[in-house]
Amino acid sequence: MTEIRLAQYFDLTDARGIRHRYQNFFVQQSRILAGARFEFAPFRAEGSIANLNGDNGLIRVLFPNLEFAIKLVENGDGNRLSELTLTTQWLNAADAVVRSYEERYVGIGSSYSETTIELRYRTAMDSVGATFPARTLTRSLVGPLPLNAQLVLQ
């Protein structure tokens, strides 16, 4: 059986434009991803959801209540409108990347407890709902099209 490990890279641009880069797998090590250095920080991302209505997905990133995490919230105006790129890598037993996935989020708030700092995010791209204004297809918009019963040009 193949052993799979998960490493996550937290790349945050706060409301002041300051970049914060952390990874949560390689303890007391810094790692390079896409030419950028990520220092170790204990954090956990959880709660990605989706539904059929196309609402924004929501996640929360949990940090221990430490000074560097408090600065994330203070510098980010309570984590409002910060920009997060969260990269998840699947690693094999030799810590080689098997698969990688990148998601983008926008900060919507934060909260504190005695032990934890929670940063909340929504997906950066919203889906298009049924009430989105439709455009009429014309030859000037799309050029020559094959016509059948499904497609009618006006």
Q: Is residue 148 part of a domain?
A: no
Q: For residue 38, is pLDDT > 60?
A: yes
Higher pLDDT: 147 or 13? It is 13
Q: For residue 131, is pLDDT > 70?
A: no
Mean pLDDT of the chain: 83
Q: Is residue 139 part of a domain?
A: no
Q: Is residue 50 part of a domain?
A: yes
Q: Is residue 142 part of a domain?
A: no
Lowest pLDDT segment from 15-19, 55-59, 76-80, 126-130: 126-130
pLDDT at res. 32: 95
> Per residue in 73-120, pLDDT tens?
887 788 888 999 999 999 998 889 999 999 999 999 999 889 999 999
Q: Is residue 58 part of a domain?
A: yes
pLDDT at res. 4: 86
- Domain residues for 17? 5-129
Q: Is residue 29 part of a domain?
A: yes
Q: For residue 143, is pLDDT > 80?
A: no
Higher pLDDT: 20 or 148? It is 20
Domain containing 108 — which CATH number?
2.30.110
pLDDT at res. 87: 95
Lowest pLDDT segment from 25-34, 50-59, 100-109: 50-59
Range 41-65 average pLDDT: 81
Q: For residue 39, is pLDDT > 60?
A: yes
Q: Is residue 23 part of a domain?
A: yes
Task: 1-5: list long-range contacts, CB under 8 Å, 24+ apart.
Answer: 2/92, 2/93, 3/92, 3/93, 4/90, 4/91, 4/92, 4/98, 5/90, 5/91, 5/92, 5/93, 5/95
Q: Is residue 112 part of a domain?
A: yes
Number of domains in the chain: 1
